[in-house]
Amino acid sequence: MLCACGFLPTQSDRPYSAARRAADDSVLARVVNASGPVETQTGFRLMPDGFYSLDARVQLIDRARDSLDLQYYLIADDRSGRLVMRSLRNAALRGVHVRLLIDDLYTADALVRGLGAFPNVEVRLFNPFCCARGSAAAKLIASLGDVRRLNHRMHNKLFIADGVSAIMGGRNIADEYFERSATSNFVDMDVLVIGTVVRRLATLFDTYWNSPHAYPVDAIISDGATPEALRRGFDRQVDEGAQMLAVRLPPVDLLGHGPLGRDLDFGRLDLAWGTAIAFADPPGKVMATSADEARSMSVQMNIMDWFAKAKRELLISSPYFVPGRLGLQDFDELRKRDIKITILTNSLAANDVPLVHVGYARYRVALLRAGVDLYELSPSRSRDDERLMLPGMSLGRLHAKAAVMDQSTVYIGSMNLDPRSDTANTELGMLAECPELADQVIEVLDISKQRSAYHVRFAADGTSLQWLAGNGREQIVLDSEPEVTPAMTLRTLLLAPFVPEQLL
């Protein structure tokens, strides 16, 4: 009976909404124009540090003059989420047009509806749940008849300010993505871009914003509250508490960059320059009725085609890595051409979705036999690595989705190399031809690889596995999955048979 009650409202005709061009008096436009050859190339600033990445978003919001377009899988109701939402409200109050598109799986209803009650703000939910929004469990129960659609989620992460600068990569908006959680934080990266690729990113945003799968927030969340009441509630939510405190930044980030605000005040950005293309799955992927249909729309197919062009080496960071039979064949073919392949992923102890590790572990021996170098991030070693700048009490988990080919071409985006990215979620990515950016990504991943991860290899018998870790003075060799409790192992083994690989 509950399932029979669940349905989405009919979408009324909406005027097409397009990204706005920056006005001549836009501070950001002036800085971008002064920073390099924006008409012919793309400028990149890699952001491996969470503190700096959050501050960059706030700095861009505070300086935006005309428009802010944000597309995210998750904006949490925590310090970081409230700080960003508060900054968006302030921008709207000074006349900036704000468009926020968020996937509806983890929506903080009061936060997003409150923001949408302000002038100059539009909020839309992508692929929403129909009703019973009192809890996640209630939403799921009320939508059991629509599970096929709701299993597809918008995993894209994109931030565009004044149509001239953008941030994209792996980070959602929540404390753990910006190294502000006391329990566990993600080792992640995203990139600030200006130049020609931003126009393409804006077009991709518009495609999602105007799709029939994006619903105005008031059409989905409605409780009779007046706009004035919603605004007052929002103000209380974001103006009180720790999110009011400014983000505390170290003097420089992992790559030696100072705060972005300093560059913006100076009037010129310190960037690496090259060329780039951006691409995304079509929003209609959420309505695919089969894995093959979804795969035909997948960004992952583009990336695997790109991997096949490698001439010397390939470095991959994928926190959730389940290559599947076809992926394993692709890597095997590359190794037969003597392409060096290095893959960094999560260990079982570091993985926040342990069942995904089961899918990965099925292919681990075959990957090693093919000659692939495997590294698995350690939660405790990354926690203790000062260069990663994680709080001392928090565990580290890999979340960076990136790859470097032949030390010159870089992939950064939202996509994991797993079946869910391939056939269930929509994803966004960018390929950049820029040796300087490639060197920076390699440097960041090497820090995690050498200082914060286990190197997986065969033991002397050529069959069993070993995990190697070094601290600069001695090497530690382990013969079983490191940092795993018996309870973790038992839970994973009990659940694994009931989860198809296609859902991992």
pLDDT at 337: 97
Asked if the domains at 19-266 and 288-503 fall in one CATH topology, the answer is yes
Average pLDDT rounded to a whole number, residues 108-123: 97
CATH architecture of the domain formed by 288-503:
2-Layer Sandwich (3.30)
Query: At CA 329, angle to CA 327 and CA 332, rounded to 5?
Result: 110
Name the active-site residue from 66, 69, 162, 385: 162
Average pLDDT rounded to a whole number, residues 416-426: 93
Name the active-site residue from 62, 146, 384, 406: 406
Q: Catalytic residue at 152?
A: no
Q: Catalytic residue at 157?
A: yes
CB 464 within 8 A of CB 334: no
Name the active-site residue from 139, 152, 257, 399: 399
Q: Which of 158-167, 225-234, 301-310, 422-431 has the lowest mean pLDDT?
A: 301-310
Q: Catalytic residue at 155?
A: yes
Look up tokens 């077009």; give the residue: 203
d(CA 317, CA 350): 14
At the top level of CATH, the class of 19-266 is alpha beta
Average pLDDT rounded to a whole number, residues 217-235: 93
Q: Catalytic residue at 406?
A: yes
Name the active-site residue from 155, 285, 357, 449: 155
Query: For residues 4 and 115, which has the higher predicted lDDT (pLDDT)?
Result: 115
User: Rounded to the nearest 5°, which phi and psi values hold at 316?
Assistant: -130, 135
The beta-carbon contacts of 235-238 under 8 Å, at least 24 apart in sequence, are 235/89, 237/77, 237/82, 237/110, 237/111, 237/114, 238/82, 238/83, 238/85, 238/86, 238/89, 238/111
**CA-wise closest residue to 448 among 393, 394, 379:** 379
Structure tokens at 132: 């019973």
Name the active-site residue from 97, 139, 152, 157: 157
Q: Catalytic residue at 330?
A: no
Where exactly are the structural domains of the chain? 19-266, 288-503
**CA-wise closest residue to 190 among 175, 160, 159, 169:** 169
Q: What is the pTM of this model?
A: 0.95
Query: For residues 453 and 142, which has the higher predicted lDDT (pLDDT)?
Result: 453
Average pLDDT rounded to a whole number, residues 210-238: 94
**CA-wise closest residue to 457 among 374, 358, 378, 345:** 374
Longest Cα separation, the chain: 71
Query: For residues 77 and 472, which has the higher predicted lDDT (pLDDT)?
Result: 77
pLDDT at 2: 47
